[in-house]
Amino acid sequence: MVKNDVLERGLECDVFIGAGLVDLYCKCGRLGDARNVFDKMWDKDVAVWNAMVAGLSQSLEFGEAVEVFRSMWMCGGVEVNSVSLLNLFPAICKLSSVGLCKCVHGYVIRRLFPNSVVNGLIDVYSKCGRPDLAYRVFELMHEPDDVSWGTLMAGLALNGCHNEVLELFDQMMNYRLNVNIVSVVSALSAAGETKDLKKGKMIHECVKKNKFDSDIRVSTPLITMYAKCGELEKALDLFHKLSGKDMVACKDHVLWNVMISAYTRHGRSQESISTFHQMKSNGFSPGLVTFVSVLPAVAYLAAIKEGTSLHGEIIRMGFLSHNTVCNTLIDMYSKCGRLDYAELVFNEINDKDNVSWNVMLAGYALNGLGDCAFDFFTLMQENLVEIDPVSFVSVLSACRHAGLVNEGKRVFALMKEKHNIEPKLEHYACMVDLLGRAGLFDETLQLIESMPMEPDAGVWGGLLGACQMHSNVKVAELALDNLVKLEPGNQAHYVVLSSIYAESGRWADAKSLRMKMSESGVKKTPGRSWVNENRDLPVLEG
DNA sequence: TTAGGGTTAG
């Protein structure tokens, strides 16, 4: 009614009344009306321009918001102020316009704007994927405040610059600056991502000192940090301690997912599965990510019964339309040795992505069906599926298991020639294994010579294994020489060579090798060569 | 003015 009055009397051109109307229409979501009034006004002050930009931005008309801002800036005859810039920032973020951000940046440094605007600039650069420029803005600030630190750290964390976040946290500690919740949360997430438990514990101390530990925004990243660093007991302890009204709200389904995926990743499959069941008995409904997190644990245990029951649940919940879930199911079934079920799931995917194909291919390779894998690989090419380095690992390892030497060689050549993919270490390791098992030692050594990178223990270890199959003492000595340099203290390699000597009747060499082992401090603890931790932790005597 | 956490293939 008031609005109609104003319109009938033609008062909307008045700068104050017009500004009120633009603001009012925008807030009611009547953008067209706001624009009408705005366009009719011949004398616009900065508040009207700002209201129009804010209105457009809030109505998700980001391009239009930027256009109006440009007109104000270029020919509006008014001075752009802090509010104008703060209204513009969300639009720049959504359009991810680094160019526009740079224009504004220039303007901001030519004139003195308050920290709120400069902090906004840091935020915008980060959200446009330019943490480097965000950092530069921060460095040139006269007096960065705690919000500036928090904004920069959150921005760097967003862009995966986790080490830089932790460095900033250290600086804050060293300078004894005020740490706020935002910087602590960013630092916790960075510590989790880099699995830096020591740093994580330090941040936890700081959390306690500042009494942030009762804040729901801190407890989740805190638990996640412990879970990612492998301290599952600590994470679980904090998880169970969450109590009180707010805390229970924060013990939500994502936090359950954090625990489930942490157990899975740390090989604690049984606990992963039992946490999944606990989640349900606590009244939380598993989501897509929950299934994707628990299924690898099922695969690890080859717990097919659990797997099919999860499959049923996935169907009932309608998650079968998500490729991620189907791909994980295929993987689970093939690791349980049920390629028939894996194929069933694969065939039912309407829009197979290259991961779907890769998982299925890996399934054939894993189950030792070299010919199937090879045919499937051909089918992938016929279907113009994107072949990537992972596909080649699978098909090469399938050739290796099946002893398909010529096919393997052809595929290896194809990598570079047809698909323009440079073979990586793992591809070379497959080929060394394949050629070595076939007893083609000259060819294998030539291949190792031709590698553009330093062969790793996997490559030499494959060669040593092949030497054992063919009792090739000469090449085995060469392989061992290199293995000793790469993994001093791993007794398994010596044991292999020693048995090759023994098989060839070279008892004296076998004996002197054992002597060498005990001299160099390598202890012979038989039969645990598959234990991964032995690779990094040489067992020393004394 | 800053603000979290979960996901598939070798």
pLDDT tens digits, one per residue of A363-407: 999 999 998 999 999 999 999 999 999 999 999 999 988 888 999
pLDDT at residue A66 greater than cutoff 60: yes
Using the 8-state DSSP alphabet, how is residue A277 labeled? Answer: H
pLDDT at residue A533 greater than cutoff 50: no
- What's the pLDDT score for residue A516? 74
Cβ-contact A393, A430 below 8 angstroms: yes
User: Could you say which residues 132-171 of protein chain A have a Cβ atom less than 7 A away from any atom in strand B?
Assistant: 145-147, 150-151, 154, 157-158
Of all nucleotides, the one whose C1′ comes closest to residue A326's CA is: B8
**Separation of A363 CA and B7 C1' (Å):** 20
Q: Which residue is listed with tokens 């000259």?
A: A442
Percent of the residues in chain A that have a pLDDT greater than 70, as a whole number? 92
Banded model confidence at residue A196, pLDDT cuts 50, 70, 90: very high
| A140-146 mean pLDDT | 92
Banded model confidence at residue A521, pLDDT cuts 50, 70, 90: low
- What's the pLDDT score for residue A528? 31
Compute the distance between CA of residue A456 and CA of residue A283 in angstroms, rounded to an integer.
Answer: 49
Residue A131 identity: P
pLDDT at residue A244 greater than cutoff 60: no
A217 contact partners, CB below 8 Å, separation of at least 6: A181, A185
Nearest protein residue by Cα to C1' of nucleotide B4: A221
Residue A515 identity: M
**Separation of A186 CA and B3 C1' (Å):** 9
Of all nucleotides, the one whose C1′ comes closest to residue A180's CA is: B2
- Could you check: is the Cβ of residue A397 within 7 Å of any atom of nucleic acid strand B? yes
- Could you check: is the Cβ of residue A280 within 7 Å of any atom of nucleic acid strand B? no
Q: Report CA A188 to chain centroid distance, whole Å.
A: 16
Of all nucleotides, the one whose C1′ comes closest to residue A188's CA is: B4
Residues A334-357 pLDDT 10s: 999 999 999 999 999 999 999 999
**Separation of A148 CA and B10 C1' (Å):** 43
- What's the pLDDT score for residue A295? 97
User: Could you say which residues 341-370 of protein chain A have a Cβ atom less than 7 A away from any atom in strand B?
Assistant: 354-355, 358-359, 362, 365-366
User: Could you say which residues 20-59 of protein chain A have a Cβ atom less than 7 A away from any atom in strand B?
Assistant: none
Residues A459-501 pLDDT 10s: 999 999 999 889 898 999 899 889 888 887 777 777 777 777 7
Residue A375's H or E segment, with its range, is: helix A370-382
Nucleotides of B under 7 A from a protein CB: 1-10
- What's the pLDDT score for residue A243? 57
A132-146, A413-427, A522-536, range with the lowest pLDDT: A522-536
Q: Which two tokens stand for residue A140?
A: 């040139």
Compute the distance between CA of residue A459 and CA of residue A450 in angstroms, rounded to an integer.
Answer: 13
Nearest protein residue by Cα to C1' of nucleotide B7: A289
- What's the pLDDT score for residue A232? 92
**Separation of A261 CA and B10 C1' (Å):** 20
User: Could you say which residues 416-435 of protein chain A have a Cβ atom less than 7 A away from any atom in strand B?
Assistant: 424, 426-427
Compute the distance between CA of residue A529 and CA of residue A527 in angstroms, rounded to an integer.
Answer: 6
- What's the pLDDT score for residue A535? 31
Task: For residue A297, list its beta bridge partners.
Answer: none
Q: For the purposes of burial, counting CB atoms within 10 Å of the CB of A198, is it exposed (0-12), middle (13-18) or buried (19 or more)? A: exposed
Compute the distance between CA of residue A328 and CA of residue A262 in angstroms, rounded to an integer.
Answer: 17
